[in-house]
Amino acid sequence: MITMNDLFLIENKFGELSLSDDEIRHIQQINYYLGSNKQIINSTNFFSKNKFNTDTSNFIIIKNIRRHDGTPYIELKTENKVGILHTGEQPISIRPKINETHFMFIIDRSLQIRLRSKNEKVQYTDHNQNSLLLNYLIKVYLNSVNEYIRSWGIHTKYEKVYKKSHFLKGKINYVDTYLDILGGQTKFNVSFFELTGNTPVNRLIRQVLFKLRKSEFVQTAIQKLFTTRILQHFNDVDDKLEISDFSEATTLARKSNNILLKNIIDISIIILKHTYFYPHHSGNNTFVSFLIDSPILIEDGLREMIKESFKTTKTLKVSKSTKQINAIIDDKIDTKASKNATPDILIEYKNKKFVLDVKYKLYDINTNQIVAESDLYQLSAYIDIFHAELGIIIAFSKTTIDKEIKFTIGKKTIYLLFWSLAEKDPKKAKKLVIKEIDNLIKNKLM
C-alpha cells in the first residue's frame, strides 16, 4: 500500500504529464540524494482520486508548468533542497519555498566574505538561478583578490572598473566584469597559484571548473570563455579526483602562504561540499543535476549572523558544538554505533547555555501543526545533553509574527522564533530574529 510518506508525487496542471524512462531514472537519482525511497506516481489529480487529507510539505511535487512564452518546463518543489536539474534543453528547477533574496542574503553570511569594501551594498535581485550562483561565486572571488590585484600587473584597469558606480553595488554580471578587468591581457595566467603538474590541488581546481563548464550553469559564451581560459592552464591535469586527493588538496591549501591559492581552494571546496552532480547520458540527450545542500548553508549563515551581532559581548560565546552519545554494547563503548548530538547553535554565557536549532521549513501559525513533534523532541534532548537553560527553534514564516510562542516539556521550555519572509528586505528579517534572541538572552541568561 502506498503511504504519503513513501510518495514522490507528480502533479500535472496541463493535461497528462509524460515523462520518459530516462527522465524517471534521473528523478530517481535526485530522490536517492534526498535520502528517501519515495515512489514516483505519474498521475493527474492524485489527491482528488485518493482523498488524502494531508500536508504536502514533506513530499516532492513535480508540476508541469509553462513559461510566459509558452515553452514548457518542469518545477520540482521541496522544502529541504534547492537546485537545478536539466533534461536536455528544458530546465527543471528545484526550489525551496524560501524567497531567493532571503536565501542568498543568508548564504552571504555563510560564505563569510572578509575582504569586502566598506561601502559595498550587494542586492540580490537576479532571480535567474542558472546564473545567480555562478555570478555569486565570481563575486566571492573578486572580493577575495581585492588586496592582491596589483600583483597581476593589471591594477590600473582594475581600479578604473572598481570606481564605476555600479561595480559591486547591485545587479551586475560578475563574469563579464571579471573578463573586463582582465582585458585579455597576457598577464592573466595561473602562475600566481604556484601550481605545477598533476597535483591534488590542481585536480581539485580543474574538476570544479570542468564541471562548471559542462553544467548548464555556464550558459553564455562569456561564461564558457571564462572557465575555458583557466582550464587551458590545466591541460596536463586529470579531471578525476579521489577522496584522498580532496583531503590532501585542502591540507596543501591551508599550508600555503599564497592567499590567492587559499581563496580559490576555499571556493572550490564550497562548490564541492554543497553541490552534487548527476550526469546521465542516453542517446543524444544529456541530463545534469546541480543540487545545493541548502539547509547547511542556512544554518551556517544564521550562526554567523548571531556571532556578528553579539561579538561585543565578550563573555558570551556562540558556536556549533557536538557531544557524543555513547553506544554501550556488552559494557563497552562502541564508537561505530555511537551518535553525535549537534545543535546548530550553542550560546554560552558564564555557566548558562541556550541550544538553538535552525529548521529549514515554513511554519504556519494558523494551523495546529505549528511545529513538528520530532523537532520538539530533538530540542528537548539537546537541552538535556548540553544541560541548557532552554531551547530555541528558528524557522521561517510567510508572515511577520509578533506573538511569543513557546512549548513546555516538564521543566524544559522551547521557544519558536521566525525569520519573516514577508519582509522585502532580509536585513529587517534578520534584525527581528536577532532582537528576539537578544531579549531571551537578557531575560533568561543574564
Domain ranges of the chain: 4-80, 113-276, 294-445
Question: Residue 443 gets which letter from DSSP?
Answer: I
Average pLDDT over residues 285-301: 54
* Closest by CA position to 213, among listed 234, 238, 231: 231
The 10s digit of each residue's pLDDT in 170-226 is 444 444 444 444 443 333 333 333 344 666 666 666 666 665 565 544 445 545 655
Q: Which of 42-56, 137-151, 357-371 has the lowest mean pLDDT?
A: 42-56
Q: What average pLDDT does this structure show over 61-78?
A: 41
Helix axes 426-440 and 294-309, enclosed angle (nearest 10)? 60
Do strands 332-333 and 352-362 pair parallel, antiparallel, or not at all (unpaired)? unpaired
Residue predicted with more confidence, 193 or 232:
232
- pLDDT, tens only, 96-131: 456 656 766 776 666 544 323 333 333 333 333 333
Q: Which amino acid is at 109?
A: R
Confidence of residue 313 (pLDDT cuts 50, 70, 90): confident
Tell me the pTM. Answer: 0.53
- The contacts of residue 373 (CB under 8 Å, 6+ apart) are none
Fold for 294-445, please state it: Trna Endonuclease; Chain: A, domain 1 (3.40.1350)
Q: How confident is the model at residue 425 (pLDDT cuts 50, 70, 90)?
A: confident
Q: Which residue has the cell 583531503?
A: 247
What would the DSSP string read from start to end of 109-133?
HHHT--S--TT---------HHHHH
Weakest mean pLDDT among 125-139, 200-214, 258-272, 287-301: 125-139
Q: Is the pLDDT of residue 339 over 70?
A: yes
pLDDT surpassing 70 at residue 167: no
pLDDT confidence tier of residue 315, bands split at 50, 70 and 90: confident
